[in-house]
Amino acid sequence: MRTPLLASIMTILFITSCATTKTIKFTDKQPDVYTTDSLKDFLENTKKPKVVLRVPDASINTTSQENKDYLYNAIENQLLSSGFIVRDRQLFNQIIENESNNVDYEQLREKSDTDLIIELTKLDPSILYETNIFYDSNNRQRTQYHGSFKRYGASVEFKVVSIASNEYSGMYKFNYTPCVDGCIVAKSLKDVRKEQREMKKDGDKPYEGVEKQVLEEFIKDATKKLVEEMRY
């Protein structure tokens, strides 16, 4: 017959064996960029280019109705620190609306005193990354047989229009991939089973996407890369 002490020790060992530290990693998605030679030449010969950020309503793919002005401000602030003269986007939109959709780009350039339109064409803060592969404490690759690990990444797309020539001068897509350097996760068998039961009971739930602070840092970094790709 097992003694109470022996039973307690065996219980502790069983619980401990079911909980292990695991690290997951995802492969970084590379950017997709294109810049015309004319844009590179223009920026090489223009020390203080005048730009405006345009943000169509349809560019935001998110279930959250949270105000995104902090992201637009982050983009504009990064452009300013990179040597651009940033025009007021609301005033620019008013000028276009007053033209009754008959936009003459030469007149638009004169009225707005702007060289380039940088358009945020798409922002997706809820791109699912999922894996059942993890690495143990000895960096050995293992397989998770009960469920999988999920993290969310993001992507942003820009389009650059030269007002003087009325042409697309560049298209850019940048990605935020989570856990590139590894994320530590720890789930016991008990927690995994509980999570699976809750998923079956509640069904799919709306997802908020990448956390606000992480998304803002990604947008700042993407804007830096945008400027680099435009100029070099």
Give residue-wise pLDDT tens across range 42-79.
Answer: 999 998 999 999 987 645 555 444 578 899 999 999 99
- Higher-confidence residue of 217 and 2: namely 217
What are the start-end ranges of the H helices in 35-102?
37-45, 69-81, 89-98
pLDDT computed for residue 136 by the predictor: 87
By residue range, what is the domain housing residue 106?
20-231
pLDDT computed for residue 188 by the predictor: 55
pLDDT computed for residue 8 by the predictor: 46
pLDDT computed for residue 147 by the predictor: 86
Q: Does residue 15 fall inside a structural domain?
A: no
Q: Does residue 6 fall inside a structural domain?
A: no
Contact 49, 84 (CB under 8 A): yes
Region 186-199 average pLDDT: 65
Q: Does residue 34 fall inside a structural domain?
A: yes
- What CATH number did the domain enclosing 199 receive? 3.30.160.150
Q: Does residue 7 fall inside a structural domain?
A: no
- Higher-confidence residue of 193 and 131: namely 131
pLDDT computed for residue 119 by the predictor: 95
Number of domains in the chain: 1
Q: Does residue 67 fall inside a structural domain?
A: yes
Q: Does residue 9 fall inside a structural domain?
A: no
pLDDT computed for residue 34 by the predictor: 96
Q: Does residue 79 fall inside a structural domain?
A: yes
Q: Does residue 155 fall inside a structural domain?
A: yes
